[in-house]
Amino acid sequence: MAKTGTTTTQDLRSAIERSGYYPALVSEAVESAVGPEPITSYLVHQETTFDANEVRRHVTVLVLTPSRFVVSHTDEQAADATSPVPYATTSTESVRLDRIGSVVLSRMVANPETYTPGRLPREVVLTIGWGAVQRIDLEPAGCSDPSCEADHGYTGSATADDLSLRVSEAGDGPETVAQALVFARALSEATISRA
């Protein structure tokens, strides 16, 4: 669930409760991270994954305030060697808006030849970078001479993708896709005003 404009902590709490995923735990963690700041936009996204013979759930809550972007992840874990009972792990990170370096929104649209403006994409991927995670992919460099035996060093690329969230019409429903678009726009506009 996403919302932009005047909203309250209660609106966010209601969205978390509708997700049905440990609402008391998730709400407390998010509200603690947001603190007294007003909420300008939010997105609650629950995802189910399959890990071997287990089904695992995960929820991500994104919150935009006038000065910060808050991200919360909560995962559940089965009993293991460290805990005889199932448990959940929740973490939050608060990022100043002036630290956000990129907001990337990728849209997947079916039948692009008949696309009409305003039609929802089938899928969106929201990638937000603020420099906390950098990935470097390297590979040996070469040249076009097949008989060359020289060492050309390495070539590669560095990417910052601190958070990547995929929302699809088939998996999450069209309302969630629309809400992801609303949140992405609000975050993008907030980072422009901080530039």
What tens digit of pLDDT does each residue of 28-77 get? 999 999 999 999 999 999 887 776 777 778 899 999 999 999 999 999 88
State the pLDDT at residue 174.
92
- Helices (H), ranges, the chain: 9-19, 23-34, 169-172, 174-193
Supply the mean pLDDT for the chain: 86
Q: Is the pLDDT of residue 4 over 70?
A: no
Residue 160 has pLDDT above 80, yes or no: no
Taking the whole predicted model, whether its pTM rises above 0.85 is answered as: no
Tell me the sheet residues that pair with 88: 76
Q: How does pLDDT run across 67-112, given as a tens digit for each residue?
A: 999 999 999 888 888 889 988 999 999 999 999 999 999 999 999 9
Q: How far apart are CA 184 and CA 8, in angstroms?
A: 19
Please say whether the beta carbons of 65 and 41 come within 8 A. Answer: no
Question: In angstroms, rounded to a whole number, what is the distance separating the alpha carbons of residues 149 and 155?
Answer: 17
